[in-house]
Amino acid sequence: MKSKKFYVTTPIYYVNDRPHIGHAYTTILADVLARYHRLLNVPTFFLTGADEHGQKVQQAADKAGISPQQHADATVVRFQDLWKKLEITHDDFIRTTEPRHKTVVQKLFQALYEKGEIYRAEYDGWYCVPCERFFMEKDLENGACPDCKRPVDRIRESNYFLRMSQYQDWLIQYIQDNPKFIQPDFRRNETLGFLRKPLTDLCVSRPKSRLSWGIELPFDKDFVAYVWCDALTNYISAVGYLSDDVKFKTWWPASCHLIGKDILTTHTVYWPIMLKAMGVELPESVFAHGWWLVGDSKMSKTTGNVVDPMEFVDKHGVDPFRYFLMAEMILGQDASFTEEAFVRRYNADLANDLGNILSRLLKMIESYTGGLLPEPGQPGEEELQLRAAAVESAGAMELAITGMRLDQGLAAVTNVVRAANRYLEKKQPWTLAKQADKQPLHTVLYHAAETLRIVSGLLFPVMPGKMTELRQALGIQEATPDIRSLKEWGLLKPGTKLGAMQVLFPRIMPEEKKTETSVGAGTPPSRPPKEAKTEPVGVALVEYADFQKIQLRTARIISAEKVAGADKLLKLQIDVGGEARQLVAGIAQHYDAATLPGKTVVVVANLKPAVIRGVESNGMLLAASHGKELRLVTVEGDFSSGAVVK
């Protein structure tokens, strides 16, 4: 993390949509990355904004009887208000209707036109209004849009085109020569797969006769810019392209474009070719994260399962919401959002672990040392182990940020909190307090407090509000932590006055189902008869000694692919404690192979090898099934492979 600058962007969000958890996730992720870099004193610029042109905005405005600009002005506040609520620290919020952006788009189009990169031609094809994209007939799926699956319209009209096809070979070579340009790796492979088919030139205009709400082309007043060309340009218009050379040279190229996987092609094909045609350097990386599913289903306004982040934050608080999103998703893969999963992680990581140790520690320091942080004595083996774990977690978090594996960094920090809780349980300061020699007690209390100092700094970019409260409780005066100090031990000053005991994360109690029993007045309910113990029907009981023969271990899935000629089978490459294995699992109808790499699963490790459909299988996955549903048994959080399951 020794970069000279850090410029991170989110997609600019379409004002016709209401903000949902997907918008919140991308923006919080960008915010966390920006905050970490700022704490490292890396010059940072964080851009987000709103996409306000296009046919859907025009149609919505017409329906409401107002102008498209009035509609955009009324709806953009949804995002602006949400970012305030989520404590997003963006440096700029760009709107594509702003003059500073429109001027750059027009200059860009004029330059490309004069260079011969844009030409006019007739077009006859299929158009999807929701996606605002043209498609060839061969690209349609059952006569519908291949992306959103909705009906398309046949359109024949004159338009302007970017000579995209001539850059196909260059783009393929560039992607191959720059493996960090598209991340994760399997998204790079998706783009290269897309580029195996011949590229057609890109239609970059829309006639005003059909769509008037857009940026007018400077060389033809009868046309407006294609909304995607308009929107993508925000990444450079916001940092001074063609308007402020000093600012542009300071921030461009972007360090990271954060996007959802559904807009991969526009960002890894259209955008780099546009930049190449303009003679502008490409961004350093485009990182495509997965989708948030609601349970097992993709969020959809049609099905009504869209999660409103405003409502969720009002109910549970902004910091726990930010933490859950960052800890739950493995970047690049899909993740499931349910309130049950949120409550489970909140109670485990925040209430039971982090909040619990803070409350206990503050209460003990108040009781045993008058609220003053004690002077520690010489550390023993347990203290040295806790020190090492805390300091090493700072390095783990740094690697997680640079490697875009924030979930792993947070898991490392959570493991340190759990280690500190185990340390207190083992040392039992409440027992040490009864001894005449107080030095062992003081050593334990200081080590627990210093561990929390490091933890509070590492979690500050994710939960700035709650970690500020924690730092204040430890008597820390600095408003923000110095990340570099988190690799040092012993910076809390003995004698510092600590705060009173507080509940940082109140435990969320699950709603219990209540059963009402109707009884007569004054009559106690009858006690149900005691049931006799019976053996379960249809279950073959085994001796414990037989069960002990089965070795269940955790395994990390490295890759997955379909078995040729088998609809139900996937071939998995797994890592079991450093040992590479291959196994075949009948889960292809329940899991997309692309979503499996990175998952930590449970396998029967000592099963005799078998050959299935000509493929050797060395092990068996554990899964649960109910009716037609099947779910893998996975291990929560970042857990080492090869661990024994007991």
Which amino acid makes up residue 513?
A: K
Q: Per residue in 309-319, pLDDT tens? A: 889 999 999 99
Predicted local distance difference test score (pLDDT) of residue 545: 60
Instruction: Band the pLDDT of 429: cuts 50, 70, 90.
Output: very high
pLDDT for 640 beyond 60: yes
Strand order in the sheet with 335-337: 297-298, 292-294, 335-337
- Segment 130-143 shows an average pLDDT of 80
Average pLDDT, the chain: 88
Q: How confident is the model at residue 421 (pLDDT cuts 50, 70, 90)?
A: very high
Window from 155-164, 183-192, 288-297, 468-477 with minimum mean pLDDT: 288-297
Confidence of residue 484 (pLDDT cuts 50, 70, 90): confident
Of all residues in the chain, the percent with pLDDT exceeding 70 is 91
Displacement of CA 535 from its chain's centroid (Å): 47
CA distance 640 to 249: 43
Range name among 11-25, 424-438, 511-525 with the lowest pLDDT average? 511-525
- Is 509's pLDDT higher than 90? no
| Token pair belonging to 629 | 């549903």
Residue 283: per-residue pLDDT: 98
Q: What is the pLDDT of residue 560?
A: 86
Q: What pLDDT sits at residue 1? A: 44
Instruction: Report the range out of 135-144, 249-258, 403-412 with the highest average pLDDT.
Output: 249-258
Token duo for residue 102: 């429109």
Number of neighbouring beta carbons within 10 Å of residue 628: 7
Mean pLDDT for 458-485 is: 93
- Predicted TM-score (pTM) of the model is 0.77
Tokens standing for residue 482 = 């110095």
Q: What percent of the chain has pLDDT over 90?
A: 65
Helix H, strand E, coil C: the string for 43-100 is CEEEEEEEECCCHHHHHHHHHHCCCHHHHHHHHHHHHHHHHHHCCCCCCEEEECCCHH
- pLDDT confidence of residue 529: 41
Question: What pLDDT is attached to residue 614?
Answer: 72
pLDDT at 271: 98
Q: Which long-range contacts (CB under 8 A, 24 or more apart) does 618-626 make?
A: 618/581, 618/582, 618/583, 619/555, 619/574, 619/576, 619/581, 619/583, 620/583, 620/585, 621/572, 621/583, 621/585, 621/587, 622/552, 623/585, 623/587
Instruction: Tell me what pLDDT residue 155 has.
Output: 83
Distance CA 424, CA 422 (A): 5
pLDDT tens, 556-614? 888 888 887 788 899 988 878 767 788 899 998 888 887 888 888 999 988 878 878 77
Stretch 116-135: mean pLDDT = 85
Give yes or no for residue 525 having a pLDDT over 60: no
pLDDT band at 628 (very low <50, low <70, confident <90, very high): confident
> Which of the two residues, 191 and 577, has the higher pLDDT score?
191
**What pLDDT sits at residue 305?**
63
The pLDDT of residue 550: 85
Give the relative orientation of helices 464-473 and 439-459 as an angle to the nearest 10 degrees: 160
- pLDDT beyond 70 at 301: no
Cα distance between residue 198 and residue 215, in whole Å: 29
Cα distance between residue 619 and residue 621, in whole Å: 7
Neighbours of 292 (CB within 10 A): 22
In this predicted structure, the answer to whether residue 387 has a pLDDT above a threshold of 50 is yes
Burial of 463 (0-12, 13-18, 19+ CB in 10 A): buried
Is the per-residue pLDDT at 122 higher than 50? Answer: yes
**Which amino acid belongs to residue 410?**
L
Rounded average pLDDT over 366-386: 96
pLDDT confidence of residue 573: 87
Give kind and range of the element (H or E) at residue 406: helix 406-427
Domains and CATH numbers, the chain: 338-487 (1.10.730.10), 544-632 (2.40.50.140)
Does the pLDDT of residue 294 top 80, yes or no? Answer: no
Cβ-proximal residues to 619 (8 Å cutoff; 6+ apart), any chain: 555, 574, 576, 581, 583, 603, 604, 605, 607
Arithmetic mean of pLDDT, 120-140: 81
Q: 49 pLDDT band (50/70/90 cuts)?
A: very high
**Among the listed residues 258, 219, 539, the one whose alpha carbon sits nearest the alpha carbon of residue 406:** 258
Residue 490: predicted pLDDT: 94
pLDDT tens column, 78-114: 999 999 999 999 999 999 999 999 999 999 999 999 9
Rounded average pLDDT over 174-195: 96
Question: In the predicted model, is pLDDT for residue 21 greater than 80?
Answer: yes
The secondary structure element, H or E, covering residue 236 is helix 234-237
Task: Quote the DSSP letter at residue 489.
Answer: S
Answer for the pair 346, 504: CB distance below 8 angstroms, yes or no. Answer: no
Sheet holding 216-217, edge to edge: 205-207, 220-225, 216-217
